[in-house]
Structure 1
Amino acid sequence: MAMQLAEGVALEGYVSSKEGDVASLREMYTSYLLEEYGRIGELAFGSPVAGYLVTSFIRRDGENAGYVSLDHGRCSVELIYVCPEHRGQGLAKLVLEELNRICPQTLALKTPLSPGGEALAAELGLERADNYPHETAKNEESLRIIREGIKRTCQHKSRGRRGGDPRKLCQRCYQSALRRYANAVIDKFS
């Protein structure tokens, strides 16, 4: 089922039993995690799929342009991601305006937000929704497991040598771990 937002722009529900949907969401979520790692140097929290989320693709002229995951129970957006080639066209704003219009209360964006997310929330007058304690604990546990796995398995000689900081995790291994993490998250709900 699709919801038309503007000429050529629609929200279309993610179907976990469709191979194409799973592959597309996996690719976009991996891109999101890697981009956020580049920005903040850590695993970015938030999930595109879960039992309590309704996930939709943002489509422009039939092409995947991003996704949004909505927690109906909290009237909040867990994640919204727009692919780099579709940024700067107002897609996130269009999606959030429509979701805010149809929500029974003011829409909230799940924290932490990127600088762009903060600016958009402020511009649209959207609330912020903090993680519940059990969500924070789950996020911290995922981060701990990723860090320990990297420390245990990294075999790269550059760690701690030739200007590398031995206190920091290997970037190559961290990025590989994020790819595996993205696959695990998507596979759990497909």
Structure 2
Amino acid sequence: MTMNSAELLAPASVNFLIGDADAGKGFVWCWLAAGVSTGDAPRNVLISDHFDTTATVALRLAAAGVDPSRIHLVDGPTTDLTAAEVDAAVTGRMAGVDVGLVIVDPWNRQEPVCRWVELAQRRNLAVLLVDYPDTVKPRDVAAAASVLTITRPGGLGPAPRVLTESKRHGTPPVRFVIHGDDHHGRVEVTR
């Protein structure tokens, strides 16, 4: 199945991208950022990543085909971006900029998902929180609009516990499984 970013990340929503280390999560969110920044109704993307934003992330984003004028990178390896900091950036230094997507890799697990949900709804933007399957809590996953899981070729993928236990905490969100190959630039999305 081929899907575009708008189908995966609705405005005013919080979404999770869950996958093991080196499964290709960075490739997937770069692809999503490219779709948002160059789509039919292009919007800006705010990204906080654990890599050196001037090197690794910039190269990945360029390879994904983003519109660089619509990408705003925030800090680097020592920053766990919070919803309050995103809100301050959108109202402060980025006032007047139409932000459509916020990507946080990795997500600061100390901050409740409800803060991100409130921000997404108030600002009408999609939030993508990136995490590992062994650290995300099922109740947090249940609060999301969608969960994208990514598996490596030949890998077992995210722990089923996260997805099955989230049903106990409310209606499970729409789920997609992404079979990624970060080294060859291919991604397949299945429902």
Q: Shared topology, TM-score over 0.5?
A: no
Q: TM-score, normalised by structure 2?
A: 0.27
Higher normalized contact order (CA 8 Å, seq sep 6+, divided by chain length): 2
- Where is the helix percentage greater, Structure 1 or Structure 2? 1
- Where is the strand percentage greater, Structure 1 or Structure 2? 2
Bigger radius of gyration among the two? 1
